[in-house]
């Protein structure tokens, strides 16, 4: 029995512009390029660590922010004081809203400002609300 290879690769199909071989070759080239790109992008953080060791950034970029001096406790909350990252007035309004909705006493544990992605929902709602209004044409 002659020793015949299971498959052979010929380059003639690459130049004939037809055939499945050309399609497979094109997909393999694109896939290989994407794998190389993924490798280099995944190595970027490690490369940046090495660059940081060779060329350290300026020291003033790493200084911690000076803490703000806290006013002396006067027995009560000062006007304009921040509670949990929100102004005191907003925290009081939130507490009043929770107290009016809940049937039993409730403690507010944490408050925070909305993030940009959370604000996007309200913006989209406003856009849809304003787009829902049909203006009547004026007779002139």
> What pLDDT score does 75 carry?
47
d(Cα 105, Cα 108) in Å, to the nearest integer? Answer: 10
Strand partners, 82: 87
Among 96, 95, 92, CA closest to 79: 92
Specify whether the CB–CB gap between 108 and 95 falls below 8 A: yes
Tens digit of pLDDT for each residue in 44-53? 989 888 888 8
Instruction: Answer whether residue 40 shows pLDDT above 70.
Output: yes
CA–CA distance, 107 with 97 (Å, rounded to integer): 12
129 compared with 42, residue with greater pLDDT: 42
Q: Is the pLDDT assigned to residue 28 strictly greater than 50?
A: yes
More confident call, 17 vs 139: 139
Q: What is the mean pLDDT of residues 125-129?
A: 85
């Amino acid at each position: 029995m002659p020793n015949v290879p299971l498959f052979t690769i010929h380059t003639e199909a690459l130049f004939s512009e037809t055939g499945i071989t050309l399609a497979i070759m094109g997909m393999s080239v694109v896939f290989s390029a994407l794998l190389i790109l993924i490798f280099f992008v995944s190595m970027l953080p490690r490369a940046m660590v090495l660059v940081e060791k060779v060329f350290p950034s300026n020291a003033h970029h790493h200084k911690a922010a000076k803490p703000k001096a806290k006013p002396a406790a006067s027995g009560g909350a000062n006007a304009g004081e921040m509670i949990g990252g929100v102004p005191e007035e907003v925290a009081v309004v939130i507490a009043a809203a929770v107290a009016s909705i809940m049937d039993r006493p409730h403690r507010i544990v944490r408050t925070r400002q909305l993030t940009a992605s959370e604000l996007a929902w309200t913006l989209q709602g406003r856009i849809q609300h304003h787009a829902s209004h049909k203006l009547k044409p004026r007779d002139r």
